[in-house]
Chain A
């Protein structure tokens, strides 16, 4: 129902569950026959890393090309990366991890595909690292086939991958007309899962910063309408996002945008969420850099430096930056499918050790349910051990009183070390917020 009026999820290329690598490769319609043959030869010869790396790079190239049709400046605003300019080559400025995040957020594919692709990214990055001296590291057939399946289902299997087209239509609507509260799109949006409302809010805030003239007026009016309706249920990190945007446009001298967002904030008494200063931006940028390092090649070697930088910014993390800082730090602490960066552990632990109970409560109640990165990690066995021992038990998180019963159940399962329950609950929370019933 939601998909019909907002933006439809492109269909997933259906692959038989028991399909072999050869069979799946034939579904990769975006590859030429010659390329398909090369992939199959690599599989036959046992060159799984080579096959997986090639497939991954082609999938990412197709994905980024689609994203680029939305405009680099807009993508930069969505990612809160002002360094991205309109005419930058997308392959140079947007990482694979960011491309996945954007694609998931803009519904270019579903949450399940996004989780699988994130896992594939970890895999490809891990094997792209030079092995340590004496280390035997070989990708298995199953791992390479997993990468192949994810890439084909989400991107390479489409005749023409046009995942951004639907979203572009929706975005055009937001900037081309002013909606009324009883317009069908608004009614459906308000009835949709949280994920849709948050994405719409993020898109509107990004457009506020990038548009001028009549489109800006429409965007501001639609933002005002949306904020008035969704503010009571809006999670605090997203409220801070609105407040931060107000501060940013105010400081950049954009009076029209500041007046528009200010009007919306005033209507919901939301000025408490305008940060006192933009110091929180420093933390957010440092956290983003840490997370980008965590999801890139050589992450185990490179994480200590950005982790130390984040730790050194100050003993108290401003609340507007808490969600980003904890996502990045917990990611470092629990690592990925292949383990974690040992050199970054001391500083990551120091940062988490400083948190107060109320800060943990804020993260667990207001942020974790929409933290796809951490929830995604909690569906993996390796990271679960560290999550249980170094996060939940170490800080006694199961004893924190929470409103979110789903998160509470997740923490209870974690405290008991009930691995399958943790994975199941993490999936349920993800599906609840995204409005899906998918089984990753």
Chain B
């Protein structure tokens, strides 16, 4: 689901009279029934009364309220005060900064924190404060918890029995191969039906906020000018992770490698300025992509192997390797160019560039609006259609995502 939101919208009806009266603030607006007399070149003319003029101010809060109320109601939070507070949270989270630094906290709204922690294997809930159930308390929760809710820490806002918001942070296990909170909710591991609601609110890309409810709904707000119909960036990452691990032979390793990819990519792409990823078959090479690239040659990064070793011998050493791989992948995705993954979760090239024959020859019109990255993605899609690539992924700087694979 996608909603386009303008931050500020003025409705103005064109006047039918000779003179245009620009929109005014409410305080400056003349009484609508009063005739307006204008004297020009010694001639007096009666101007008929202007038609009644709508002059409204729409706020994000007002625009989102109805939609969010319906969503939260379905998720077990039938509460006007909670809805208003969550609207505040969504708007703030779309691009949250503290002391000039951009933060990406995850917030979970829930009723039964204890059960949530056990079902999601969370731990060490630390209460920071509480207050009346309203937007002001949500702002306070954001201010106090957002700087803490980094890496494996998640901020929570719990609705108490006495109509308060209690807020604080708790810790996830933080292992890249583990099922993270979003996955736990989406996979139905959280039993929201018996214990009130659970909704995870997080920024998934710049000015894109996703709300994932435990009762099967997901709502994504793009607070940018993207086209309607855009899927959630994380939905594209889910498909991307599945494609990257398609040919990992051991099913147990495949699932964990996909989990690792999902958490690493969603974390990396949220911070990045946009990226391109190409996926090739295990036994194939795609020279159109790899000829101008940094090749990892014999040192190709084998994520499945790192996961396999950790599953077989879970130790600090093997876990450190997995964390190190996550950071390295993050670095590769942050460079310009395309990162090349194989379908068995091996990274072979990064910083790759493709030629755009249409653009070079000028034979093709520049039908694709956008920068170099989007044009390169168009080339990758053609390579997918030609069977040279299995799939391609594009993430723009404004959070728009597209995953393209054979047959799509």
Chain B 334-364 residues near chain A, CB threshold 8 A: none
Q: Which DSSP category, helix, strand, loop or mixed, fits chain A's interface? A: helix
> B-side interface residues toward A, CB under 8 Å?
115, 117-121, 123-124, 173, 175, 177-179, 183-184, 187-189, 191, 194, 251-252, 255-256, 259-260, 311-314
Contact with B along A248-268 (1 / 0, CB 8 A): 001111111011001000100
A82 within 8 A of B: yes
Are B179 and A255 interface neighbours, CB within 8 A? Answer: yes
In this complex, what residue of A is CB-closest to B257? A253
A439 within 8 A of B: no
A271 within 8 A of B: yes
Total A-B pairs, Cβ < 8 A: 71
Given the complex, which residues of A lie within 8 Å of B256, measured CB to CB?
252-254
In this complex, what residue of B is CB-closest to A82? B314
In this complex, what residue of A is CB-closest to B259? A253
Are A253 and B177 interface neighbours, CB within 8 A? Answer: yes
With A253-B256, A271-B115, A272-B118 as known contacts, state yes or no: A258 contacts B189, CB within 8 Å.
yes
> A-side interface residues toward B, CB under 8 Å?
82-83, 85, 212-213, 243, 246-247, 250-256, 258-259, 262, 266, 271-272, 274, 276-278
A/B interface sample: 30 pairs, CB < 8 A: A82-B314, A85-B312, A212-B251, A213-B251, A243-B118, A246-B121, A250-B120, A250-B121, A251-B121, A251-B175, A251-B178, A251-B179, A252-B177, A252-B311, A253-B255, A253-B256, A253-B259, A254-B252, A254-B255, A255-B179, A255-B183, A255-B259, A258-B184, A259-B188, A262-B191, A276-B117, A276-B118, A277-B121, A277-B173, A278-B173
3 shortest A-B CB distances, which residue pairs? Answer: A253-B259, A277-B123, A253-B256
Are B189 and A262 interface neighbours, CB within 8 A? Answer: yes
Q: Which of A83, A255, A276 contacts B123 (CB 8 A)?
A: A276
CA distance A26 to B179 in the complex (A): 58
Q: Which of B177, B189, B311, B312 contacts A259 (CB 8 A)?
A: B189
CA distance A255 to B189 in the complex (A): 9
Given the complex, which residues of A lie within 8 Å of B115, measured CB to CB?
271
Given the complex, which residues of A lie within 8 Å of B124, measured CB to CB?
276-277
**A251-B178, A252-B177, A258-B179 known; 15 other A-B pairs, CB under 8 Å?**
A85-B312, A212-B251, A250-B178, A250-B179, A250-B184, A250-B189, A252-B178, A253-B177, A253-B178, A253-B256, A258-B189, A271-B118, A274-B119, A276-B123, A276-B124
Q: Which of B119, B123, B314 contacts A262 (CB 8 A)?
A: B119
In this complex, what residue of A is CB-closest to B188? A259
Given the complex, which residues of B lie within 8 Å of A266, measured CB to CB?
191, 194
Given the complex, which residues of B lie within 8 Å of A247, measured CB to CB?
121
B104 to chain A, nearest CB (A): 22
Given the complex, which residues of A lie within 8 Å of B183, measured CB to CB?
255
Are A258 and B187 interface neighbours, CB within 8 A? Answer: yes
Given the complex, which residues of A lie within 8 Å of B175, measured CB to CB?
251
In this complex, what residue of B is CB-closest to A249? B179
B170 to chain A, nearest CB (A): 10
In this complex, what residue of A is CB-closest to B171? A277
With A266-B191, A276-B123, A277-B173 as known contacts, state yes or no: A83 contacts B252, CB within 8 Å.
no
In this complex, what residue of A is CB-closest to B176? A253
Given the complex, which residues of A lie within 8 Å of B120, measured CB to CB?
250
CA distance A255 to B194 in the complex (A): 21
Most chain A CB within a 10 A radius of its CB, from B121, B177, B191:
B121
With A82-B314, A253-B178 as known contacts, state yes or no: A212 contacts B173, CB within 8 Å.
no
Most chain B CB within a 10 A radius of its CB, from A252, A256, A258, A278:
A252
CA distance A246 to B255 in the complex (A): 16
Are B187 and A255 interface neighbours, CB within 8 A? Answer: yes
CA distance A236 to B188 in the complex (A): 26
Are A251 and B255 interface neighbours, CB within 8 A? Answer: no
In this complex, what residue of B is CB-closest to A274? B118
CA distance A108 to B183 in the complex (A): 42
Given the complex, which residues of A lie within 8 Å of B189, measured CB to CB?
250, 255, 258-259, 262
In this complex, what residue of A is CB-closest to B117? A276
Given the complex, which residues of A lie within 8 Å of B178, measured CB to CB?
250-253
Are A255 and B255 interface neighbours, CB within 8 A? Answer: yes
CA distance A246 to B177 in the complex (A): 15
CA distance A277 to B152 in the complex (A): 14
